[in-house]
Amino acid sequence: MSKKPAGKKSGAKNKSSAKKSSGRGGRDLTVRVKTAKGRKGSSTRWLQRQLNDPYVAAAKRAGLRSRSAFKLEELDDKFEFLKPHMRIIELGAAPGGWTQVLVSRVGTEKPGSKAKIVAIDLAEMDPLPGAEVMLLDFMDDEAPEILKNALGGPADAVLSDMAPKITGHPNTDHLRIMGLVEAAYEFATEVLTPGGCFVSKVFQGGTEQTLLTDMKRAFANVRHAKPPSSRNESAEMFVVAQNYRGRNTE
């Protein structure tokens, strides 16, 4: 992959091109998908949304593995938590859009770089130069220790784009996503170096108050954000916790 599409300067360019999907005469062209026999209506709607999503098209043009790469770029452009030489653990990495951005922005492939990225998912993910990719379920009891050994030292950042299978029942989905967030946060407090950051997907409604209180005690800055590239109809948001104070402050 060319590093330019996922870099800081390319972020604005990619976002700009993502918003320009005009057809002849400046009119937007919408691809409509007929429901094939045997295909669920929800599948048809998903396919039509993908075909008409400017961020999906922009990701393909930039050589990015997923549109979610733009979300991480936008979050980092706003909060500036990614720095050169960082050591990072990424949870829920497949298919690798976030990982591509991380490789570019922390410079794992640059000569003399001390950066390291360990990216895991329970789904298969193609190898990516500049990152150690592991097939692993984070919720397995042995996963945290495996990750610590793979990184070989404290982490400067723990990022999680993990999400459960959506049931469509808001309360159930919120409980499931919060279970993942809590597990990722607990792990982050075990591996982060002082000054480190934790970034995680949550659902609208934000972070549960008890967990949010813990985060504010452990981190100097805790904020919620919804990146511009996150679909309006999506309930996802992200919590960005920066400047970890250390376990003795929890």
Tokens at residue 132, please?
């150690």
Question: How far is the C-alpha of 108 from the C-alpha of 248, rounded, in Å?
Answer: 31
Nearest in space to 62 (alpha carbons), one of 110, 100, 19: 100
All structural domains of the chain, each given as residue ranges with its CATH number in brackets, are 4-62 (no CATH), 68-249 (3.40.50.150)
Say whether pLDDT at 22 is over 60. Answer: no
Can you give the pTM of this predicted structure?
Answer: 0.77
Burial of 54 per CB tally in 10 Å (0-12, 13-18, 19+): middle
Of the pLDDT bands very low, low, confident and very high (cuts 50, 70, 90), residue 44 is: very low
Identify residue 126 by its one-letter amino acid code.
Answer: D
Extract the runs of DSSP E, i.e. beta strands, from the chain: 87-91, 116-121, 132-135, 155-160, 192-203, 219-225, 236-244
Which pLDDT belongs to residue 224?
94
Active site residues: 201
Secondary structure class of 248 (helix, strand, coil): helix
pLDDT tens, residue by residue, 183-231: 999 999 999 999 999 999 987 766 788 899 999 999 999 999 999 988 7
Residue 107 token pair: 């410079």
